[in-house]
Amino acid sequence: MSIATVLATRSRLPSPVPAGVEVRRHGVEFDSVTKRFATGTLALDNVSLVAAPGEFVTVVGPSGCGKSTLLRLAAGLSEPTAGTVRMGGARLGYVFQEATLLPWRSVRANVELTGELRGVPRAVRRRKAQEAIDLVGLTGFEKQLPGQLSGGMRMRVSIARAFAGDPDLMLFDEPFGALDEITRLTMQVELQRIVAQSGVTGLFITHSVSEAVYLSTRVVVMSARPGRIVAEIDVPFAYPRPPELRYEQSFTDITAAVSTALEGGHR
């Protein structure tokens, strides 16, 4: 199947794409990827996976099954032992479980950091930073320091910093894992809005089945180590997704399918 066909069938964006939303050109593709570490640990075994431009793909799997390894390969921080990872020169944005902000810098200065490190002219990076701050709902908090913000707000800054770099592909490594339940649910609602609004492609790691289903166009289920893909489940709901979607039968049917695949791959 060509990447254009995958996009046409799986894009989360309505057709025609709304005015002002530009679908990014790049996704990521893992072709028969195996990763064995120098210690002998086989972390990933023959994994093939596509996140086509405009898709938001979430990977769920038991602890230690190789999810972070998969993201490190996508980021080019590690090389496969066998197989190929293709991203066609995508500009990457990362969001980790910890917000990793510089405590002495204001919200704005933290968000501008990516542009600063890339040598983007001051006026341009300030404009990009403001757009990203507005996108994540932090308008008015530009001058605050990270220590003055809640955990959820710090995560918003971290997401804004990634978006200010104008990414094609966003990599998320359990970004909401350290948040309390209510903040986590709010951040899920925010993230699917932000992602749909920005047209970015996403690869997202989580332990939470309902988070995976609520956010994504497709959920990829991995087995216990060595990580293999045991199921791929499409999530057909249009964006933006209302929070109440989580209580609908069609939603719980999909979470049940993901959980069943997860339990099967864990045995």
Ligand X SMILES: Nc1ncnc2c1ncn2[C@@H]1O[C@H](COP(=O)(O)OP(=O)(O)OP(=O)(O)O)[C@@H](O)[C@H]1O
List, in sequence order, every residue forming a beta bridge with 265; answer none if it has no partner: none
Name the nearest CA neighbour of 195 among 10, 24, 15.
Answer: 24
* 56 vs 96, beta carbon nearer ligand X: 96
CB of 100 to ligand X, least distance (A): 16
Token pair for 80: 């496969």
Q: How far is CA 251 from CA 150, 236, 240, in A?
A: 30, 10, 15
Residue 15 touching ligand X (CB under 6 A): no
CB of 147 to ligand X, least distance (A): 27
CB of 134 to ligand X, least distance (A): 32
Applying CB under 6 A, the span of 6-14, 17-25, 33-41, 84-92 interacting with ligand X comes to: 33-41
Query: Measured between alpha carbons, how far is 101 from 195 in angstroms, rounded to an integer?
Result: 21
CB of 225 to ligand X, least distance (A): 5
* 68 vs 144, beta carbon nearer ligand X: 68
Token pair for 209: 């089945």
CB of 32 to ligand X, least distance (A): 18
* 2 vs 63, beta carbon nearer ligand X: 63
Residues within window 150-209 making contact with ligand X, judged by CB under 6 A: none
Binding mask 222-241 toward ligand X (x if CB under 6 A, else -) reads: ---x----------------
CB of 254 to ligand X, least distance (A): 22
User: How many positions of this chain bind ligand X (CB under 6 A)?
Assistant: 13
Residue type, 247: Y
Query: Measured between alpha carbons, how far is 36 from 208 in angstroms, rounded to an integer?
Result: 26
Using alpha carbons only, how large is the chain's radius of gyration in Å?
18
Binding mask 34-73 toward ligand X (x if CB under 6 A, else -) reads: ---x-x-x-x-----------------x-xxxxxxx----
CB of 176 to ligand X, least distance (A): 14
* 156 vs 225, beta carbon nearer ligand X: 225
H-type helices in 136-234, by residue range?
151-164, 181-198, 209-215
List, in sequence order, every residue forming a beta bridge with 252; answer none if it has no partner: none
Query: Measured between alpha carbons, how far is 199 from 19 in angstroms, rounded to an integer?
Result: 11
Output the CA angle 231-236-239, nearest 5 degrees: 130
* 79 vs 116, beta carbon nearer ligand X: 79
What phi and psi, each to the nearest 5 degrees, are found at residue 5? -70, -40
Token pair for 22: 């530009």
Binding residues vs ligand X (CB under 6 A): 37, 39, 41, 43, 61, 63-69, 225
